[in-house]
Structure 1
């Protein structure tokens, strides 16, 4: 096999996003022919797709599509390394899939994977990217909001990488400034629920049990437990429900108050951070 230099290996890696050793071996086998090396990597990648199923795809990006003020979709597309995440092919795949979500409005990820784009299923497109890029590529989740006025926000935690935090905020009336403010707040403060009423009963029961045990271990009087626990639950609401959080731009106001003063209601929100629940 012909010897290759690291500059050629780096160039092939930039063209394909394949691993360094895979690029080196492909160039050696192709005797320095880049087109042939790319084909070798493609064939190897296709053979290795199944082997990657157990690997962890904890990097990636969030992508958004908002064709109108009242319709938007948010997608989390995952890969194994940030090298692939910042690549053009991976980002183009995310853009294609999120636009497809808007067009077809699938009910869930399995339905999305079986739907077709130009004669190929979304799963087939992911498998092709998997083979070409040499990494496990998967759709973790997506959301679609429709109605009212929807604001969006994408945040880059690293300027060299694509966005890894994405937010949709749905208001009942159009107000671009407030929607943007609340979306940016949501990205920063990571609320889990819209309001206390939106907290599932089992979640609330678990938190209450934790606070009761904590309060007892502190030696508080038994008669005072209900009041103390209620106070801690209210504090938890202020931490984790969007409408009760203190607004980052003006902590004297809650998000509910910000919306009220603007004459709008917050109907829903979605926040994704790559690799987090």
Structure 2
């Protein structure tokens, strides 16, 4: 006879997230001791972490946490291998716990985050490895954003209705305006600007765009006297596309995002857009 009960299997599955057959085998090996079986599964699972290192983790979720007074907020991207795991309650619980830890600990960068303690004696890296072991997939935490300011808001977008949010946006304004913050964040989610202003674009990127614009203009046979003006127009077009403040506003494309902010008397301090796997 089996030296464990159906209740033991259920309890072990709840503790570990492991499959039914794996739980049954662990209970047999542990002679029905649920605690020992839990340890057996953890050891076996953690051994599999290294084997999964070479796998691709392009699915997952973005989660956010905004303070009750909206003066701070975080975005966290947690990646996994399949959409099946991405929408599982256990995976989403891990993501939420990581977001709460980021909000509480305010790490300087990803290295500091992974090295910080999320539970007594357990680093975030160990916590992620444990999730890797329990869920049986490569789990990756390599991006987050944390803001503090006068007003912080987020917008989360689902690309598929049965999946968790795949795109997350965090914005910081210099004063409270929930409706405007939501509209700007939705715009960012849809149009994916790379920079806030033209001044934020790295000089080497600008020079590359200018060089391409000049070579294209000359190849088109434009008059020499007109080249400088055409090139400048094309570079300005690049700024309009690549910078948030220069883009036509999604909810009123007759106005730029900058114009909408100016009319509201609000300054957008910064933004972060995270799309899972990109």
* TM tier, smaller: 0.7 to 0.9
Task: Tell me, yes or no, if the aligned pair for 1:60 and 1:79 is still in contact at 8 Å.
Answer: yes
Task: Tell me, yes or no, if the aligned pair for 2:249 and 2:256 is still in contact at 8 Å.
Answer: yes
Partner of 2:5: none
Moved more, 43-52 or 187-196: 43-52
1:151–1:31 CA distance, 2 compared to 1 (3 A): closer
Partner of 1:137: 139
Partner of 2:79: 78
| Distance across 2 between alignment mates of 1:96 and 1:15 | 16
Partner of 2:56: 56
1:31–1:123 CA distance, 2 compared to 1 (3 A): closer
| Distance across 1 between alignment mates of 2:224 and 2:14 | 65
Match of 1:188, SS state, is helix
* TM-score normalised by length of structure 1: 0.86
2:22 counterpart (26, 29, 32): 26
Displacement, 1:29? Answer: 4.7
Match of 1:180, SS state, is helix
**Deviation digits for residues 17-76 of structure 1 (CA, Å, limit 9, x no counterpart):** 76xxxx58637856999x799876544322111111122111111111111311111111
Partner of 1:198: 200
CA RMSD of aligned residues (A): 2.5
Task: Tell me, yes or no, if the aligned pair for 1:247 and 1:255 is still in contact at 8 Å.
Answer: yes
Partner of 1:8: none
1:249–1:266 CA distance, 2 compared to 1 (3 A): same
Task: Tell me, yes or no, if the aligned pair for 1:26 and 1:40 is still in contact at 8 Å.
Answer: no
Partner of 1:47: 47
Match of 1:49, SS state, is helix
1:216-231 to structure 2, matched below 5 A, reads 216-231=218-233
> Which residues of structure 2 form unaligned runs of 5+?
1-11
Task: Tell me, yes or no, if the aligned pair for 1:17 and 1:87 is still in contact at 8 Å.
Answer: no
Partner of 2:107: 106
* Residue 186 of structure 2 is aligned to residue 184 of structure 1: yes
Partner of 1:161: 163
Displacement, 1:139? Answer: 0.9
| Distance across 2 between alignment mates of 1:140 and 1:215 | 41
Partner of 2:172: 170
* TM-score normalised by length of structure 2: 0.86
1:98–1:24 CA distance, 2 compared to 1 (3 A): closer
Size of the aligned set, in residue pairs, is: 261
1:59–1:14 CA distance, 2 compared to 1 (3 A): farther
Displacement, 1:15? Answer: 9.7
* Residue 229 of structure 2 is aligned to residue 233 of structure 1: no
1:265 counterpart (264, 267, 274): 267
Match of 2:199, SS state, is helix
> Which residues of structure 1 form unaligned runs of 5+?
1-11
